[in-house]
Amino acid sequence: MPQRANIPDGQAILRVTDLVKRFDGRAVLDGVNLEVRPGETLVVMGGSGCGKSTLLRHMIGSMRPDEGRVELFGHDLAELSEDRMDLLRKRFGILFQSGALFNSMTVGDNVALPLREHTNLDDDTIDIIVRIKLELVGLRPAVDRMPAEISGGMKKRAGLARAIALDPEILFYDEPSAGLDPVTSAEIDQLMMDLSGKLGVTSVVVTHEMDSAFRIADRMVMLDRGRVLKIASRSEFEAIRDSAPSGDETTDLIRQFLRGESQGPITRRRQDTGYAEDLLEAADGER
């Protein structure tokens, strides 16, 4: 087992409390509460633009909450100095939605960068670690390529190799398998499961791919209108997915999302909010 510093068993490694974030007065996150337990894989779901990436940015301390708190490894992120925050940053890894590789460096240098920055390892050792990490994501042949020369899927895998360079205790993934072919996507899933199963890495995964979500999740959380609609174990979500319509708004909404159906509460809501308001606004403009 890797050491998991000062987190007693059963306690949360990450806790989000009443998190509110507004952009231009519009609350994108509107009172989010959730916990991530050591060693688990938590999948975050929700419609496009519902604030999943924003939630992730708060979890890694790159955005400050307007209200509420984010505690990582038992520290309130808002109260940490920049130097203390940097110490925490070395203990987690993040895979950005776009991969976010440094375009001026080769794939290998991208993976080596955190090692060069934060360890005192010599160049040969770093080189070996880089090759191991790239082999893990199936990218060893691309070590000397520039990010501009590789495909979107390869960028994501390279980003993952960089995220695990320092053997983090917790990993954040923003849509790791979006835009990948089914086989590559399944390989990434397998890799994520290996990391959590064999190395005990805690994972928070934002994803739209339901197959992948049900493969990797221990627990799942569904966001809607800036709040947590439901947070529960995978089996509970499976039960909802496989159940018949119940007439309960929340359950039906989740079922529609999980099944990816075009009819249901989500569609109805879109129809009866937006449209009428749009017309009224247009009428206001006329006057």
Partner 1 sequence: MSDGVGKRGAVRALGARVLGGLEYLGGMALLLGAAGRWAYRGAVSRKVRFGGRALAAQMVRVGVRSLPIVVLVQAFIGVILALQMSPPLKPYGQESQVAVIIGIAGFRMLGPIITAVVLSGFAGASIAAELGTMVVAEEIEAMQAMAMNPVRVLVVPRVLATLVMMVLLTVIADLMISLGGWAVSRAVLGPRVYVGYWDRMRDALVYADFVTGLILAGVFGTLISLIACHEGLKVSGGAEGVGRATTMTVVYSIVAIISAACVFTMIFFVYEI
Ligand X SMILES: Nc1ncnc2c1ncn2[C@@H]1O[C@H](COP(=O)(O)OP(=O)(O)OP(=O)(O)O)[C@@H](O)[C@H]1O
Shortest Cβ 22–ligand X spacing (Å): 9
The backbone region for 257, taken as left when phi is positive above 0, alpha when psi lies in -120 to 50, beta otherwise, is: alpha
Region binding Mg ion by CB under 5 A among candidate stretches 46-54, 77-85, 183-191, 228-236: 46-54
Task: Decide: 259 and 241 in contact? Cβ < 8 Å.
Answer: yes
Residue 118 within binding range of partner 1, rule CB under 8 A: yes
Give the containing element (helix H, strand E) for 13.
none
94 vs 201 by CB, closer to partner 1: 94
Binding partner of 58, given partner 1, Mg ion, ligand X, none, CB within 5-8 angstroms per partner class: none
Number of residues that bind ligand X (CB under 6 A): 11
Region binding partner 1 by CB under 8 A among candidate stretches 67-75, 112-120, 205-213, 241-249: 112-120
Tell me the residue type at 235.
Answer: S
Region binding ligand X by CB under 6 A among candidate stretches 51-59, 129-137, 195-203, 259-267: 51-59
In 10 A of CB 75, how many CB atoms?
15
Alpha-carbon distances of 16 from 72, 89, 286, rounded to whole Å: 9, 17, 44
Task: Decide: 203 and 171 in contact? Cβ < 8 Å.
Answer: yes
The half-sphere exposure of 128 on its side-chain side, counting CA atoms within 13 A, is: 4
Number of H helices, E strands in the chain: 11, 10
62 vs 235 by CB, closer to partner 1: 62
Task: Decide: 52 and 206 in contact? Cβ < 8 Å.
Answer: yes
Residue 275 within binding range of partner 1, rule CB under 8 A: no
**Can you tell me which of 17, 33, 53, 184 binds Mg ion, judged by CB under 5 A?**
53
Number of residues that bind partner 1 (CB under 8 A): 22
Residue 101 within binding range of partner 1, rule CB under 8 A: yes
Output the DSSP codes for 198-237: HH--EEEEE---HHHHHHH-SEEEEEETTEEEEEEEHHHH
Residue 120 within binding range of ligand X, rule CB under 6 A: no
CA dist 259 and 237 (Å) reads 11
Find tokens 């990450």 and name the residue: 14
Q: Phi and psi of 22, rounded to 5°?
A: -115, 140
Q: Phi and psi of 74, rounded to 5°?
A: 80, 5
53 vs 250 by CB, closer to Mg ion: 53
Q: Which residue is nearest to Mg ion (CB)?
A: 53
Q: Phi and psi of 41, rounded to 5°?
A: -115, 115
Residue 60 within binding range of partner 1, rule CB under 8 A: yes
Residue 23 within binding range of ligand X, rule CB under 6 A: yes
Residues 213-272 that bind ligand X (CB under 6 A): none
Region binding ligand X by CB under 6 A among candidate stretches 49-57, 137-145, 191-199, 248-256: 49-57
Residue 49 within binding range of ligand X, rule CB under 6 A: yes
Shortest Cβ 21–ligand X spacing (Å): 8
**Can you tell me which of 79, 86, 144, 181 binds partner 1, judged by CB under 8 A?**
86
Shortest Cβ 239–partner 1 spacing (Å): 36
204 has which bridge partners?
42, 172
Shortest Cβ 146–partner 1 spacing (Å): 13
- Which residues of this protein are in contact with partner 1, per CB under 8 A? 57, 60, 62, 82, 85-87, 89-90, 94, 96, 98, 100-104, 113-114, 117-118, 162
